[in-house]
Structure 1
Amino acid sequence: MTQTPLPDGRRLLSLTPTASTVHGSRSRMTCFYRCGNACDHPEPNTSGAGHVQDEIRKAVARRAVLKGAAVGSGALVLGGLGPAAVAGSASTGATTGASAAAERRASDDLAKVAFTPVRPNRRDAVVTAPGFDHEVVMRWGDAVVHGAPAFDAHAQSAEAARMQFGYNCDYVGVHELRDHRKDSKDRALLVVNHEYTDEQIMFPADTYTDREIAEIGLANHGMSVVELRRGLVPGSWRPVTNLRKARYNRRIHHRTEFVMAGPAAGDDRLKTSQDPTGTRVLGTFNNCAGGMTPWGTSLSGEENFNQYFQATGELDARYTEQYARYGIGASGSGRNWHTVEERFDLTAEPHEPHRHGWIVEVDPFSPDEAPVKHTMLGRFKHEGANVIVSKGHAVAYMGDDERGDYLYKFVSAKKVAKGSSATARKRNKKLLTKGTLYVARLTGDGSADGVHDGTGEWIPLCSDTESFVPGMSVADVLIFTRLAADQVTPTKMDRPEDVEPNLVNGKVYAALTNNSQRGSRFEADEANPVTTSMVRSSIGAPLTEASGNRNGYVLEMTADGGDHTRTTFTWDLLLVCGDPEAPETYFGGYDKAEVSPISCPDNVTFDTAGNLWISTDGNALGSNDGIFRVPVAGSERGHVQQFVTMPRGAEACGPLITDRNRSLFFAVQHPGEIDGATFEDQASTWPHTDDFPRPSVVVAFRRR
């Protein structure tokens, strides 16, 4: 990023893409601002381990020759579930002679209702399936807490941003609210991450100094908790407007104090001059996905935190290997936060990066309670964490969103306390502090059957009292989890993003977004088989060949015996994403002629029937990103249908089906983030309330 001086000493931000390469449909701007061009740097994982066993590779090579016929046939599947597991997507839910009211309720059910899929498009709009509508719930700059000023792009300040809805929203959680108020059954608490900022399109060119830009950008990160009320149309929701009475509303930002919990809390490497105890840290940054726990809290993953640090001098030689493994360097992404807060200067505070990259837990019902950073869940580029209760224990699944990094899970030492009493919730909020952390190794079955599947093993890294990695202590494993995992030969995956258990069928689904280096820097294996993808430059353009895995996969994992505390599982690739016309694609065995094209899966969620919903980021097929419904069992297994598309330049984030399947919440992140865009020359103005884009949370529902 370069800054051109203006006559009055202010700066005009301009992006210098240099050697940056576009990945999928992502612009150079997105690559720069979101993750500091992570894919253009050498991969942090240089360990030699981590591929499916050598004896499997020959079978994979043979399969590559046959994939156009075998995989393209769409006839082979790993298995199915009973008829009660997942509703077929063609069902309307209505019965002969049913009342009009019953028919309306059925037509509201996003798990059952038939819809005409949205066609790929490049519109600057949220486009839902015919018969459905949407409303913007919260926009960047909207007031979150009482006293917040009205948003004015030409009069932004860090103080105002700490009271307003932050920039770029990713994770979306919605918690049912039941309190003393008569109308509380019609209320809910929205929890949202604010992942990153794009200074290029946020700020008018002649308005702010360098320091103000850094201060405001810093303050726009974090999280928001917002109280909602039902709208007039079933499935619609709106924020409570009287902020004096919205007592749960909360803006979590760079000055919010977090508690470090778990075995690594208080370790010397977490201590700084600001916090000599190593148990308190300010703020949470670059938060991506997350999940709601059974005890009513939200988990949020700190992802590309590495880019926010810079060095004014030498780097601490003690951490050369550790910094490199986490992509931490002296130049960072040039946001210059170290000029605002010294803790972002690696030379002054070499331990500050170790205090980020954790799973965060926020209790939306306790607005005065400090959020927690859980060291027991390991430190890496967390996409998020999602919990299922198995044999009474809390089991959290996680992904490390980097090319060639790993899948993880955590199993709590203690069991989940039943009920929703204050005592039970207090106990359950400590579950993630003690247990065992694992990393995954996948093995292919070696059979040339055209289906990518096999077995897997969860390799223990440490418990809260014992390390299972030679030469590393428990604190070593948790603070430098990537380095610990490298030593036990897990499987290098293609950007493991959201990893979520399906509470209907008990299986776990992982979005593996893409890896343009699969086949070159990373060898192909059965879990990561695609080395050449077919992509499109634009809608209607011919398919062309591109190196690597450009369209991604959805991985399905089945715990042995349905017990998630066990260390063995089976797996298959439910989806090999891409254009149905491409020979490498696979859609759970469903007829390829009947599915929507899908590229770069990012976040996943489920409705109460067990259908999988997928949001995408970086569509390499010439269309805007979107959200798709996919049944996972029965005759409709793998039937991918696009339900909604995003505006220009935006990715789809945080999908959540709630309110008896009547509401689809999602976040529209970085609309208008297209190369060349500036505040004065925008590529999008969505949601079209201003002459500049405003990232927002949206809810979709049946039109009345």
Structure 2
Amino acid sequence: AASTLPWAVQAKDKPSKEAKETVEALRFTEVERLLDKQLHVAPGYDAKVLIRWGDPLRPTGPTFDPKNQSEQKQERQFGYNNDFTAFFPLPAGSRNSAHGLLGVNHEYTIPPLMFSGLEMDYLDSVSEEQMRVEQAAHGVSIIEVKRDSEQGWHPVDGTYARRVTATTPILLSGPVAGHERVKTQLDPSGKRVFGTFANCAGGITPWGTYLTCEENIDKYFAQTGEIDPRERDNHKRMGIKPGGQWYSWYKFDRRFNASREPNEPNRFGWIVEIDPYNPQLPPVKRTALGRCKHECATTTLDHNNHVVVYSGDDEYFQYLYRFVSAKPYDPEAPSSHLRLLDEGTLSVAQFDDEGNVRWLPLVHGTGKLTSEHGFDSQADVLIEARRASELIGATPMDRPEDIAVYEKTGEVFVALTKNGKRTDSSAANPRTENHHGHIVRLTPPKHVNGGIKHSADTFKWDIFLLAGDPDAQAHGAKYGGEVSDAGWLSCPDNLAMDPHGRLWITTDGQEDANGAAEGLYATQTHGDAQGVTKCFLRGPLGCEVTGPNFTPDGQTLFLSIQHPGEGSTFDAPATRWPDFDESLPPRPAVLAITKKDDGSFGA
């Protein structure tokens, strides 16, 4: 998933001659269109498993035994369904591309692929102990990694390694902290949450902290009885339904029953900040950034050094958000960074037919965001950001997911994965029954004194590409030029910008949309070949390709392979990637991808 890197913000290095030459070219042989049990990468590259579900975070950790897992073991092992990855150089503040910390999200678990004996209709079969293992497999892993000439990339022992799980104590900060609507029986203060889950994509702050985003939180809660109409309607808007959906945690843990703890869901759906360099600091949910099904937290700096965070709400007909900090980032005052994301203005995007996008402030007391409409404070606006956005006229989008910023130009690329339910098109969402998705490009204005005005009230926008088969008229696909049969894609999801300004795109849903394996694609963002995608990698059957993240030198790409074999079971898996061991199920894993000749990635 995309993020502005601290070294990109601070570095003043001039592009190398090699970088200038390769920015206009993507020189690799494409991976053909296929679907099988293996992972395939472009010739000339190594894609090696760095770490997978169940691997110990440290060499002294417990060995993985899938038929004998426990909560205690899983808390010391790499979690399940890795998603977003973020590389933090060691030492902190450096551009070291051979040694650092890797933060990894663990979005969700799949019980029938984790535990022997479970079938696809598993909700009534999961035991409490299995549920505890699941909770420990959610959240975030921080590992220390190193590259050397003998082993390539590998985890190393150190003091940084840790897990943040669905039960880890986490602080609430910002306008919602301490509000009545986040107080529970376990936490009457409303300032201390237990856990994070549904961690999809994220971001990296200029001061080197990790942002992880809580997305599909509704899948964890059930509602077994009547509750106050206000929260009932609020929960319904977030997707919470009677009975369990993906999980039956509510049977063993009362906080996941919204009828017993009606405020508990309001404590999730936030962006969480973690300091990877300081394991002693507790994670913090930054409520000023709003509550929704956050896909990402792509972070950059405005022309005046104010922090800007872009985030998409990953669901059909939801919205694109922007947060601008009230105070500027000062690299010389580290203590001030701890509160930068607690004060600022959250806005939501409204696209018009003339190529303009306006940012509408979500500020209590303005327009319809008043007590008359059920908003008694800024906390109410943030807790119900979806309803607030609808009331003030934000543009419903085709499932906004990841966002990438090209620092050189300030352009903001937004992945809109798909929306098969759309019956009325709009300028920014031009296809009805959009099964293939598209990418929109936003262009903020430049400041008269230099720099990019990411805080401007109005940007320009255009459609960068319309995904789908360009030879199928019904798809309505449109690329920047001729795309090969291997190169066209469906359902763009995660985005990453490499050091040369090329956009890397992963897919989620392509296997269903067009029958090809999920993949990683790349395109130039300028020049004659902008918007012309090429396929660099294809994942194994049933997987999702997620979390692309480059080292500062651009010579290593970290990439997650999530849920290989999804739709099958532990006892009868569709693939056994990556181990292909008859005693092991398929295991989500993070790859470290490098060029065999150590040259520039994609060149």
Q: TM-score, normalised by structure 2?
A: 0.89
Report deviation, 1:500. 2.4
Which secondary structure state, in structure 1, belongs to the residue aligned with residue 392 of structure 2?
Answer: coil
Report deviation, 1:467. 8.7
Which secondary structure state, in structure 2, belongs to the residue aligned with residue 383 of structure 1?
Answer: coil
Letter in 2 for 1:490: A
Hey, what does 1:258 align to over in structure 2?
170
Hey, what does 2:225 align to over in structure 1?
313
Hey, what does 1:218 align to over in structure 2?
135
Whole-angstrom distance in 2 between the partners of 1:360 and 1:111: 37
Do structure 1's residue 509 and structure 2's residue 413 form an aligned pair?
Answer: yes
Whole-angstrom distance in 2 between the partners of 1:413 and 1:317: 34
Letter in 1 for 2:64: F
Letter in 1 for 2:192: R
Question: What do residues 128-175 of structure 1 show as CA deviations (whole Å, max 9, x unaligned)?
Answer: 111111110110001115753101001011111111111101110011
Change (3 A) 1:206 1:570: closer
Following superposition of structure 1 onto structure 2, how do residues 293-372 of structure 1 map, counting pairs within 5 Å?
A: 293-333=205-245, 335-372=247-284
CA contact (8 A) 1:131 1:702 kept: yes
CA contact (8 A) 1:461 1:468 kept: no
Do structure 1's residue 239 and structure 2's residue 152 form an aligned pair?
Answer: no
Following superposition of structure 1 onto structure 2, how do residues 63-82 of structure 1 map, counting pairs within 5 Å?
A: none
**Partner residue of 1:274 out of 179, 186, 201:** 186
CA contact (8 A) 1:110 1:662 kept: no
Hey, what does 2:369 align to over in structure 1?
469
**Partner residue of 1:193 out of 98, 105, 108:** 105
Question: What do residues 28-52 of structure 1 show as CA deviations (whole Å, max 9, x unaligned)?
Answer: xxxxxxxxxxxxxxxxxxxxxxxxx
Following superposition of structure 1 onto structure 2, how do residues 503-582 of structure 1 map, counting pairs within 5 Å?
A: 503-519=407-423, 523-531=424-432, 548-561=433-446, 562-582=452-472
Report deviation, 1:211. 1.5
Letter in 1 for 2:492: P
Hey, what does 2:492 align to over in structure 1?
601
Which secondary structure state, in structure 2, belongs to the residue aligned with residue 444 of structure 1?
Answer: coil
**Partner residue of 2:341 out of 432, 441, 452:** 432
CA contact (8 A) 2:297 2:309 kept: yes
Letter in 2 for 1:469: L
Whole-angstrom distance in 1 between the partners of 2:289 and 2:66: 38
CA contact (8 A) 1:262 1:375 kept: yes
Change (3 A) 1:613 1:184: closer
CA contact (8 A) 1:575 1:585 kept: no
CA contact (8 A) 1:270 1:278 kept: yes
Letter in 2 for 1:124: K
Change (3 A) 1:317 1:147: farther
Change (3 A) 1:530 1:367: same
Q: CA RMSD in A?
A: 2.6
Letter in 1 for 2:141: S
Hey, what does 2:395 align to over in structure 1?
491
Which secondary structure state, in structure 2, belongs to the residue aligned with residue 560 of structure 1?
Answer: coil
Report deviation, 1:659. 4.1
Report deviation, 1:688. 2.1
Q: Which runs of 5+ in 1 are unaligned?
A: 1-85, 96-105, 446-453, 532-547
- Give aligned-pair identity as a percent: 40
Change (3 A) 1:326 1:231: same
Indicate the larger mover: 271-280 or 114-123: 114-123
Question: What do residues 518-554 of structure 1 show as CA deviations (whole Å, max 9, x unaligned)?
Answer: 12xxx111111112xxxxxxxxxxxxxxxx1011001
Report deviation, 1:642. 0.8
CA contact (8 A) 1:258 1:370 kept: yes
Which secondary structure state, in structure 1, belongs to the residue aligned with residue 363 of structure 2?
Answer: strand
Whole-angstrom distance in 2 between the partners of 1:428 and 1:180: 14
Report deviation, 1:579. 1.2
Report deviation, 1:699. 1.3
Report deviation, 1:321. 1.5
Which secondary structure state, in structure 1, belongs to the residue aligned with residue 528 of structure 2?
Answer: helix
Question: What do residues 645-698 of structure 1 show as CA deviations (whole Å, max 9, x unaligned)?
Answer: 111100110011224111111100000003xx2211110100025331000010
Hey, what does 1:41 align to over in structure 2?
none
Report deviation, 1:176. 0.5
Do structure 1's residue 639 and structure 2's residue 498 form an aligned pair?
Answer: no
Letter in 2 for 1:574: F
Indicate the larger mover: 686-695 or 216-225: 686-695
Change (3 A) 1:259 1:94: closer
Report deviation, 1:346. 1.4
Question: What do residues 405-428 of structure 1 show as CA deviations (whole Å, max 9, x unaligned)?
Answer: 000000000000124xxxx33312
CA contact (8 A) 2:223 2:242 kept: yes
Question: What do residues 408-463 of structure 1 show as CA deviations (whole Å, max 9, x unaligned)?
Answer: 000000000124xxxx3331231110000000000113xxxxxxxx1110000127
Whole-angstrom distance in 2 between the partners of 1:367 and 1:111: 41
Which secondary structure state, in structure 2, belongs to the residue aligned with residue 307 of structure 1?
Answer: helix
Whole-angstrom distance in 2 between the partners of 1:512 and 1:196: 21
Following superposition of structure 1 onto structure 2, how do residues 18-33 of structure 1 map, counting pairs within 5 Å?
A: none
Change (3 A) 1:176 1:110: farther
Following superposition of structure 1 onto structure 2, how do residues 152-171 of structure 1 map, counting pairs within 5 Å?
A: 152-171=65-84
Whole-angstrom distance in 2 between the partners of 1:190 and 1:467: 43
Larger Rg: 1
Q: Which runs of 5+ in 2 are unaligned?
A: 1-13, 120-124, 447-451, 598-603
Change (3 A) 1:443 1:354: same
Change (3 A) 1:414 1:622: same
Letter in 1 for 2:305: G
Whole-angstrom distance in 2 between the partners of 1:570 and 1:409: 15
Following superposition of structure 1 onto structure 2, how do residues 12-161 of structure 1 map, counting pairs within 5 Å?
A: 93=18, 114-145=27-58, 148-161=61-74
Letter in 1 for 2:594: F
Question: What do residues 241-281 of structure 1 show as CA deviations (whole Å, max 9, x unaligned)?
Answer: xx3xx100011112211110101110011000111100000
Change (3 A) 1:314 1:130: same
CA contact (8 A) 1:393 1:413 kept: yes
Letter in 1 for 2:52: R
Whole-angstrom distance in 2 between the partners of 1:650 and 1:209: 23
Letter in 2 for 1:311: Q
**Partner residue of 2:576 out of 685, 688, 697:** 685
